[in-house]
C-alpha cells in the first residue's frame, strides 16, 4: 500500500522553470496552472504562439512561446529559453492530436501526425530536458528534474476506432517506462498520466456517433484539472504512471491480456457510450 505523499513544490528560495507543451488550452493549461501554483516559473508553449502567450498572462506564468513538438531542434531551443528564466526543473509533454478512424480509414497525413506528435513529440522533449538537466548538474546549478507526459488510457489496450491513436500512446508510455529506468540514478524522474476520456475539444472533435467516441464515452469523463493534479502529484516520487480512474486502467490491462474475450464486450460498451452521448444532446 502506498502511503500519502507530501505535495510536491519547488523549495523556497530556489525557483525552477517548467515547460508545458500544448498548453494554450485544455489539459495543458490545467497542468501549467497547477505548476504555477506549486512555485514553478512556467513557460507555456503551443503551436499557436499567440494563444500560448495569452494563456501565460492569464494564469500568471513566466511567458509563452510558439513550439512545434515534431521539431527536435526546437525542443532544445525551448529548453534554453526556459533556462533563461530559471534552472529547468520540469518538462511536461502534453501536446497531442486525436484523430479517430479505423486503420484502413485514416489518411496518410493523419496517421503520420499521430505518431510524430503523440509518440515522437515526447521523445524529442525528453531528450532536450535530460540534456538540460545533465548540463545543469555538471555546472553545479541544480541536479535532476521531472519529466511528465500526458498519455491516455488507450495506451494500455486495444481501442477499436482509435487503433493508431492508441498505438501512438502505447509507444509514448513505453518510452516513459524505459526512460524512467535509464535516468533515475541521475535524480531525473519520469512520469505519465493515463486518463480516461477528457471533455476537451479533442473528444468533441471525434465523429459524432462514431465507434471511437461511443467507446470513450462508455467510461467516466475526467476533468483537465484531475489530469493535472494526477500528473504533477507524481513529481518527487518514483511512480512512473497512473491511470484515472484506476478501475478503467484495470479493465484496459485485462483487454490487452485477453483481447479476444474482452473485445466481445465492445458492442455493449459502445451502446452505453452512444446512449450517454445522446443524453448530452437532449
Positions annotated as catalytic residues are: 165
d(CA 215, CA 161): 9
Q: Among candidates 151, 154, 155, 150, which has minimal Cα distance to 219?
A: 154
Question: b or e along 237-256 (b: 16 or more beta carbons within 10 Å of the residue's beta carbon)?
Answer: eeebbbbbeeebbebbeebe
Count, residues in the chain: 282
Whose cell is 521523445? That residue is 123
Q: Under a CB-based contact definition with an 8 Å cutoff, are residues 190 and 145 in contact? A: no
d(CA 169, CA 150): 9
d(CA 272, CA 237): 37
Q: Under a CB-based contact definition with an 8 Å cutoff, are residues 36 and 24 in contact? A: no
Radius of gyration of the chain (CA): 19
Q: Under a CB-based contact definition with an 8 Å cutoff, are residues 186 and 137 in contact? A: yes
User: What is 24-62 written as a DSSP string?
Assistant: SSHHHHHHHHHHHHTT-EEEEEESSHHHHHHHHHHHT-S
Q: Under a CB-based contact definition with an 8 Å cutoff, are residues 116 and 99 in contact? A: no
Amino acid at each position: 500500500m502506498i502511503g500519502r505523499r507530501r505535495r510536491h513544490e519547488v523549495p523556497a528560495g530556489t525557483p525552477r522553470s517548467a515547460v508545458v507543451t500544448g498548453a494554450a488550452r485544455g489539459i495543458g493549461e490545467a497542468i501549467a496552472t497547477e505548476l504555477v501554483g506549486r512555485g514553478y516559473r512556467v513557460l507555456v508553449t503551443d503551436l499557436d504562439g499567440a494563444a500560448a502567450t495569452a494563456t501565460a498572462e492569464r494564469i500568471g506564468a513566466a511567458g509563452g512561446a510558439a513550439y512545434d513538438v515534431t521539431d527536435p531542434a526546437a525542443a532544445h531551443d525551448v529548453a534554453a529559453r526556459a533556462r533563461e528564466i530559471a534552472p529547468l526543473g520540469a518538462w511536461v509533454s502534453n501536446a497531442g492530436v486525436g484523430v479517430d478512424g479505423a486503420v484502413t480509414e485514416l489518411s496518410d497525413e493523419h496517421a503520420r501526425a499521430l505518431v510524430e506528435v503523440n509518440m515522437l513529440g515526447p521523445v524529442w522533449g525528453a531528450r532536450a530536458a535530460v540534456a538540460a538537466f545533465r548540463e545543469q548538474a555538471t555546472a553545479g546549478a541544480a541536479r535532476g528534474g521531472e519529466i511528465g507526459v500526458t498519455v491516455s488510457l488507450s495506451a494500455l489496450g486495444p481501442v477499436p476506432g482509435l487503433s493508431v491513436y492508441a498505438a501512438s500512446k502505447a509507444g509514448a508510455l513505453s518510452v516513459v517506462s524505459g526512460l524512467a529506468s535509464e535516468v533515475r540514478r541521475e535524480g531525473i524522474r519520469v512520469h505519465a498520466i493515463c486518463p480516461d476520456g477528457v471533455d476537451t475539444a479533442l473528444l468533441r472533435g471525434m465523429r459524432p456517433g462514431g465507434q471511437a467516441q461511443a467507446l470513450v464515452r462508455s467510461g467516466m469523463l475526467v476533468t483537465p484539472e484531475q489530469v493535472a493534479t494526477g500528473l504533477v502529484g507524481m513529481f518527487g516520487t518514483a511512480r512512473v504512471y497512473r491511470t484515472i480512474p484506476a478501475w478503467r486502467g484495470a479493465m484496459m490491462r485485462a483487454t490487452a491480456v485477453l483481447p479476444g474475450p474482452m473485445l466481445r464486450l465492445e458492442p455493449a460498451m459502445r451502446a452505453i457510450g452512444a446512449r450517454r452521448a445522446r443524453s448530452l444532446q437532449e
